[in-house]
């Protein structure tokens, strides 16, 4: 593709730096080396602005693949949101083709979102990621370890998303490493707050939807604690300081 591999290389450095800021004790690791299992990164070598090499991470399953494993899942038209929104706006006497998006009725947009969310819940539910982790685990001990790795890697990647302005975080760009339960993000072409400059700006700093929260509830408070520690340490760490783009 035409993606800038330099973005991948820089974001991977940020993720590794954030992971290094958390000590093994805070992560409840038996050994410092166990931290390597809590978050996964890949190597990106830049050869030119639009050319480079990326090392593949094996045994990943994207969130969209997990959703498709659910028995009631069905493919949807990618333009379904547009169709429902335009239809609702027209019914309210608003011409979406001539009315700027910022003037669209927020109540109508919220209702369309609720309609789509209810439809998705009936197909996959909020626990589809947790279901996959349960199926991968060989014992309750392994399952709890996967939950913990999921929470830790979510905290690290969420902090990286905030600091690196990672956009385009849809279900194909977020995966889970099956053997460990660690979350892995890919495709950083819309990073460093580029999403803010899109025609329809991306304003959400990180993805924390119901499906992801469903897994985090298995380790209450751990994600919040690690995320808070990362934000504090990244701002004041003497060796490595990450500062928000704002």
Measured CA to CA, the distance from residue 110 to residue 115 in angstroms comes to 9
Structure tokens at 168: 């385009």
For 32-42, the pLDDT digits (tens) are 555 666 667 77
Other CB atoms within a 10 A radius of the CB of residue 54 amount to 16
The per-residue pLDDT of the chain, averaged, comes to: 83
Measured CA to CA, the distance from residue 4 to residue 43 in angstroms comes to 14
Measured CA to CA, the distance from residue 79 to residue 116 in angstroms comes to 12
* Confidence band for 24, pLDDT divided at 50, 70 and 90: low
For 47-68, the pLDDT digits (tens) are 877 778 887 778 899 998 988 8
Q: Which CATH number among 1.10.533, 2.160.20, 1.10.1070, 1.10.3470 corresponds to the domain 5-62+127-244?
A: 1.10.1070
Domain ranges of the chain: 5-62+127-244, 75-124
* Confidence band for 244, pLDDT divided at 50, 70 and 90: very low
Please say if the pLDDT value at position 73 is more than 90: no
Angle between helices 140-164 and 222-236 (to 10 degrees): 40
* For range 206-230, the mean pLDDT: 91
* For range 149-160, the mean pLDDT: 91
The structure's pTM equals 0.82
Q: Are 134 and 142 in contact (CB under 8 A)?
A: no
pLDDT at 246: 45
């Amino acid at each position: 593709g035409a993606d800038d591999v330099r973005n991948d290389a820089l974001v991977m450095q940020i993720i590794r730096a954030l992971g290094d800021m958390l000590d093994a004790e805070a992560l409840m690791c038996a050994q410092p080396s166990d931290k390597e299992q809590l978050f996964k990164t890949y190597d990106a070598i830049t050869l030119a602005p639009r050319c480079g090499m990326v090392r593949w991470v094996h045994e990943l399953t994207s969130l969209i693949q997990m959703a498709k494993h659910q028995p009631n899942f069905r493919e949807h038209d990618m333009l379904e949101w547009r169709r429902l929104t335009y239809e609702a706006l027209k019914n309210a006497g608003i011409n979406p083709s001539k009315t700027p998006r910022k003037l669209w009725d927020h109540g109508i947009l919220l209702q369309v979102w609720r309609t789509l969310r209810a439809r998705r819940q009936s197909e996959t539910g909020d626990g589809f990621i947790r279901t996959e982790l349960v199926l991968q685990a060989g014992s309750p001990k392994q399952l709890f370890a996967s939950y913990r790795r999921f929470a830790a890697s979510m905290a690290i990647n969420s902090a990286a998303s905030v600091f690196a302005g990672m956009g385009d975080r849809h279900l194909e760009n977020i995966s889970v490493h099956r053997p460990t339960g660690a979350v892995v993000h890919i495709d950083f072409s819309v990073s460093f707050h580029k999403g803010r400059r899109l025609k329809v700006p991306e304003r959400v700093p990180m993805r924390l939807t119901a499906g992801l929260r469903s897994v985090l509830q298995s380790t209450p408070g751990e994600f919040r604690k690690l995320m808070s520690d990362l934000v504090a340490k990244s701002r004041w760490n003497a060796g490595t300081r990450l500062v928000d783009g704002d």
